[in-house]
Amino acid sequence: SSPRGPRGAPFQPLPFSRVVAAGPGALGGRAPAMSAETEKHCTVLIFYDKGVPPTSDELAKRLESKKDDVKAGALQDLVLLMINGESYPKLLMTIIKYVVASSDHRVKKLLMLYWEIVDKCKENGDLKEEMILVCNALRNDLMHANEYIRGSTLRLLCKMKYYRILEPLKEAVLRNLSHRHSYVRRNAVMCVYSIVKSFGIDQLPEAAEDIEQLLLVEGDLSTKRNAFLMLLNCDQDRAVKYVLSMQDQVSTMGDIFQLSVLELVRKVCRSSPAQKGRLLRIVFDLAASSSTAVSYDCASSLVSLSSSPLAIHQATQAYVTLLTEQSDNNVKLIVLDRLQEVQKHHKQIMEGMVMDIFRALSCPSLDVRKKVMDICLGSLVSPRNIKDVVALLKKEVIKTLNYEAQGVEGNIEYRRLLIRALHACTSQHVDQAQSVMFLLMDFLTESDQTTSSEVIMFLRELIANYPNLRVQILQRLSESLTDVQQCRVLRGCLWLFGEYCEEQDLIVQVVEALLAGLRPLPLEMKEKEASKKEPAGGSSREGEKKSQTTSTAKVTTRTVVLADGTYGTESVYEKPEGEEETVETKDTTPGKKSHIRSLLMGGDLLLSAMVGVSMTKLILKTTSFPDALRNECLLVLVNLYKLVRAHSCGGERCDSAVRLTQCIRLLVGNCGSPLAESHLAANELIKAEWASKGGRSQLAKVLELAAQNSEWALGAEVEVEEKSVGPDQCINFWQLRERKGAGIAAGAIDDDDDFHAARGASIATQAAADGALFAERLAKVQQMTGLADPVYVEAFLQVHSFDLVLELLMINRTQDTLQNVLVELSTQGDLKLVDRPAAVTLAPGQQTMVHASIKVASTETGIIFGYVTYEKKSAADKEVSVLNELHVDILDFIERSWIGELAFRTMWSEFEWENKININTSINEVGAFLEHIMQNTNMSIVGRSYKKTATPKGQKKGKLTTEDVQEMLREAVGIKKLIETSSFVAVNLYAKSIFGEDALANISIERMPDGKLTGSVRIRSRTQGIALTLGDRITIVQRGVKGGKK
């Protein structure tokens, strides 16, 4: 609300329907015919449903009324009609005669809008004679007794672009610089700045001095800021002189003025490095400002202008303060991005502030927490702060176990993040690992597979690398073995027992714990038990139904991707109704059945083989194993063999049955039973293999590879993009650079593009770059109509993140003038048409370019289709040509990304949408086919991270090149060896869309004896769209290759 002036009422707001600060296209429909003034300088646009516009005489009659309300209503209608395309040139003189003299404030405000939009020039470009009278009216308003009329007039003059109108008003404008009201002075300063900016400082040579004098005595903050901005852009030396004279008082001024001072500091330090020392003192003083905007700007200025440790520490401190005190997650993410940039160049300075940055973990947003981990872990964790970091992470893990945190969204994901962070921190510090390993072992019994799997991987690394921790870890694992729920975790525990248990007491303890989880013995199929217990003679139907419901367990067998990319089966056991009651009535032993027994009885073949191998290894490691336990173990192996053989997915020749047979033969031979020579030889081979400890060496290689591709590698240096300078480029000596004027662009000193453009040698390079860009665009141009059609249309689709810009080239192929040529477009899929192409008129042979904007919502197959309509003078009806369909390329929305094997398998089991594509290609080489698929889908190999030092100029971010794909295949040693030696190769790939959608792919390729490739590609995603779209892409790509690469 405007304050009341001394001689009149305040201005009232205008009852306009809607004000749109945009161009004509924002009206939603076709743009109206604008006046010449509006077309040149469109500063106001108001929507108005004009209906049948009144005539000039009707409006003139209302304007000539003696009542101010009638004049105001007529003037408002006139303004709205003129903005929406109507022209009333005859009313200019009427308004000068009857409206200008009005003292009503509403009429005055409407009159300002009218002066803004009215055509001020004739058709030949000369100023209208009536403008002399308008200048006189404006001069009277500049000298008006009401300060708000003066201020509004000054604001109007800021938008005037005609010097002949402003020239007689300059004296009155400068006189308002000393007005008693701040509103007038504020707008007077901006009016002076607008004149100087538009027509040069020569038109107001005394302006800079007057503004400087105003700065020295001005008390209003907004006016002071405006005056300083004017000096900053028009006379930089005066601005620097003023700032240095007021250096001690800058910190007490308002935030808007301080931001202007910081802008000056950045400009001057780039153009005149000699003054950097004096000006940076001001930035240091402002860094502790209570204003968040000033503090953030100070930090950014210090980082960009100085590399001294003191400046970087001050900037980092300001960022950390913003990070911990601001509650907006968007602000936190922006500040974290800035800290990440500082970390790349000043790691040593940020090491001391790790604990302060970790305070941001109190934010409930998982994105903020993940980015905090990315910054702090890795290069910033050192032996000096590892103890504090681990203590903090332990405290956060304990918080996730509280009752209050259980119902919080994202609590499980945060716990997973913390466990991975502890794993990364303590894997290289054994003293810290001891303090957290027992805490993490409590998560082995979690129902969340990702959490428990991450813990067992952590324990596996500790056992492999630190022999002094093995016994206590294995003892604790044996105690919690029966409570573990996940078969993957159970397999990991069993492998560790079989490989690393050496002491006699520990071996016996582990075997007893394992047998305790498998009891009661024997392990038999419940259907057989039910058939044995069925009484002779006919039993009632109720008894049969009851026995079936209580004895049949629901077992779900699913296919999983193993670590090497091959497939395996995993069975999930679900208790049938009434089982617990049956157990209670049948077994008198306390406690319910363990998870490992339930999984084995449910038909988990891989776990059955693992139990057999681990038991056999443990028994063979000692010579004084108790006979009772040995016999019980042998009974368990025989029972497991029977279960595997009787399973629908098993049989005598399945892998698990063969492995269990080998284990039984080893135990029987170890007891002294006579065996055939072939069996004895086989036993010796297996014993020799186990004694060689090849599993430990393979595990060491796996751990080494995992350390290289770790999410947070401790001590790893952050790769900094370095600018490469060619030997033929000129050397730029800053000391010899000619100092340019104050109006130099802010980035001109740091950017050498203008320097290279001035060189004659760069013309050829620029031409080559332009030629490559033109060739790239030309390859993406699609023909929408035929060459014989009256209107020929070509389309070029350009992708800008979430937006598509469709450029349509239309050519009139006829000898007639085509009117109202309009392209009507529609979309299919998750595409939304925002701006439609405007109608045009094409002369014979004429061509023109129109544009359409399309919004993209997800990575899904999108199709753009439509038709083009046009009119001929001789034809009564419109003619129509149908356009070809335009398919949106999914590759524009998929970026290369990296993911670990554990996360990949977790998402693979969770995602419900799958698309399977059979391989049908003319490529004969597995490596060439993989390279072709990866490059055309932008997918990377799972389990390995690839860090590029720099992105080549002109290459889109996140796009895979041929060199990138070849480097991936070279570094993936296991896959490379498989490609060279095996006829079957399985590879897991991963990519992520710009919308955050994950795309998983498993490629299984088999080379047939005749040289052809066969197999399948399975794609999984959380949503249906990306799975189907990526499958269609692979189908098109693999068929589009002619001739195999050899």
Q: What is the pLDDT of residue 760?
A: 43
Would you say residue 762 has pLDDT above 50? no
The mean pLDDT of 1-9, rounded to a whole number, is 38
User: Which pLDDT band, with edges at 50, 70 and 90, does 567 fall under?
Assistant: low
Q: What is the pLDDT of residue 26?
A: 36
Tell me how far CA of residue 543 lies from CA of 270, 547, 550, 1030, in angstroms: 92, 6, 11, 53
Q: How far is C-alpha 244 from the chain's CA centre?
A: 43
Q: What is the pLDDT of residue 118?
A: 87
User: Which pLDDT band, with edges at 50, 70 and 90, does 40 fall under?
Assistant: low
The per-residue pLDDT for range 436-490, each reduced to its tens digit, is 888 888 888 888 888 888 899 889 988 988 888 889 999 999 998 888 888 889 9
User: Which pLDDT band, with edges at 50, 70 and 90, does 1004 fall under?
Assistant: very high
The per-residue pLDDT for range 579-624, each reduced to its tens digit, is 443 333 333 344 467 889 888 888 888 999 999 999 999 998 888 8
The per-residue pLDDT for range 813-846, each reduced to its tens digit, is 988 888 889 999 988 877 888 888 888 888 898 9
Q: What is the pLDDT of residue 726?
A: 59
What H or E segment, with its residue span, contains residue 832? Answer: strand 831-835
Joined tokens for residue 662: 């080998």
Considering the chain, what is the average pLDDT of its residues?
Answer: 79
Q: What is the pLDDT of residue 696?
A: 86
Q: Do residues 389 and 381 touch, judged by C-beta distance below 8 A?
A: yes
The per-residue pLDDT for range 334-367, each reduced to its tens digit, is 999 999 899 888 888 888 888 999 999 998 888 8
User: Distance between CA atoms of 707 and 710, rounded to whole angstroms?
Assistant: 5
Q: What is the pLDDT of residue 541?
A: 43
Would you say residue 210 has pLDDT above 80? yes
* DSSP-based helix, strand, coil % in the chain, nearest 5: 55, 15, 30
The mean pLDDT of 272-283, rounded to a whole number, is 85
Joined tokens for residue 1019: 């794609």
Joined tokens for residue 557: 């067998």
User: Which pLDDT band, with edges at 50, 70 and 90, does 948 fall under?
Assistant: very low
Alpha helices by DSSP H, listed for 84-146, are 91-98, 105-117, 130-142
User: Distance between CA atoms of 977 and 293, rounded to whole angstroms?
Assistant: 56
Q: What is the pLDDT of residue 977?
A: 82
The mean pLDDT of 302-322, rounded to a whole number, is 90
Joined tokens for residue 221: 């903050």
Q: Please tell me whether the overall predicted TM-score, pTM, comes out greater than 0.75 for this model.
A: no
The candidate with the shortest Cα–Cα distance to 506, out of 482, 472, 483, is: 472
The mean pLDDT of 99-125, rounded to a whole number, is 87
Would you say residue 111 has pLDDT above 60? yes
Q: What is the pLDDT of residue 512?
A: 92
Q: Which residues pair with 808 in a beta bridge?
A: 795, 850
Written as one string, the DSSP assignment of 784-819 is: -S-TTSSEEEEEEEEEETTEEEEEEEEEE-SSS-EE
Joined tokens for residue 32: 């109206």
Joined tokens for residue 23: 């161009």
Would you say residue 947 has pLDDT above 50? no
Provide the percentage of residues in the chain whose pLDDT is more than 90. Answer: 18
Provide the percentage of residues in the chain whose pLDDT is more than 70. Answer: 80
Strands, E, within 740-785: which ranges?
782-783
Q: Which residue is listed with tokens 């005056």? A: 227
